Chains A and B, each alone.
Chain A
Amino acid sequence: AQRVTQPEKLLSVFKGAPVELKCNYSYSGSPELFWYVQYSRQRLQLLLRHISRESIKGFTADLNKGETSFHLKKPFAQEEDSAMYYCALNRAGGTSYGKLTFGQGTILTVHP
């Protein structure tokens, strides 16, 4: 069975401070990990995907298979980063791209 755990429901930081949103997963096979974000009054949207190894809006995430983690990081938080962040998992190489298992989400608030 697949499981995604986001241990922090709420995370508050000040503008310019580093931020790290934690995500741990359990999955016996080879996983594909994602971060999705939902800004206020907007739709849930993809932020980044580990297989792409890209940085979006200054965020990065590294898949650590040894620690089964996929933490989201940004060195300098901005007020516009305030949102709900979800970590999600799918079976790598699967044909069902959207069959995601989501974590419970972390609400990030960046104070001015």
Chain B
Amino acid sequence: EAGVAQSPRYKIIEKRQSVAFWCNPISGHATLYWYQQILGQGPKLLIQFQNNGVVDDSQLPKDRFSAERLKGVDSTLKIQPAKLEDSAVYLCASSSHRGGANEKLFFGSGTQLSVL
């Protein structure tokens, strides 16, 4: 099966600029997650979508971060304006949300953001 697709692979911007990341989950996966991974740390969940609705965005810095999944398939994550501390790898992941022992979370390759 095709994996979770993310673009761009790398992005370099200056602080106070805006940036957007795109994710296309595995076909049929209802649940989509965005994680932020700062260098030297484990991934940290930013937001979870179930189809086109937000399930949990409690850890999303809403003053500058926004995300949408309008048609319940692909998703975009935006940062406006970016800060130096936003430099990280942004990972998208999806799962079928059918539950059970065979439930798996599939990750994309990530977008590496550098804010200068």
A contacts, CB < 8 Å to B: 4, 43-46, 49, 51-52, 86, 88, 95-105
Asked if A99 contacts B40 (CB within 8 A), the reply is no
Taking CB atoms, residues of chain A closer than 8 Å to B104 are: 46
B90 sits at the interface (CB 8 A): no
Q: Interface size class for chain B?
A: 20 to 34
Bound-state Cα–Cα, A98 to B4, Å = 14
Return 19 A-B CB contacts under 8 Å, by A number: A44-B91, A45-B106, A45-B107, A46-B104, A52-B101, A86-B42, A88-B42, A95-B97, A97-B95, A97-B97, A97-B103, A97-B105, A98-B33, A98-B95, A98-B105, A99-B33, A102-B42, A102-B44, A104-B40
Residue among A99, A101, A104 having the largest count of chain B Cβ atoms under 10 Å: A99
Closest residue to B33 on the A side, CB-wise?
A: A98
Taking CB atoms, residues of chain B closer than 8 Å to A103 are: 42
B contacts, CB < 8 Å to A: 3-4, 31, 33, 40-45, 48, 55-56, 91, 93-95, 97, 99, 101, 103-110
Top 10 closest pairs, chain A to chain B, by CB:
A102-B42, A44-B107, A98-B105, A98-B33, A43-B107, A102-B43, A97-B103, A98-B95, A104-B42, A86-B42
A43-B48 contact in complex given A96-B55, A102-B42, C-beta closer than 8 Å: no
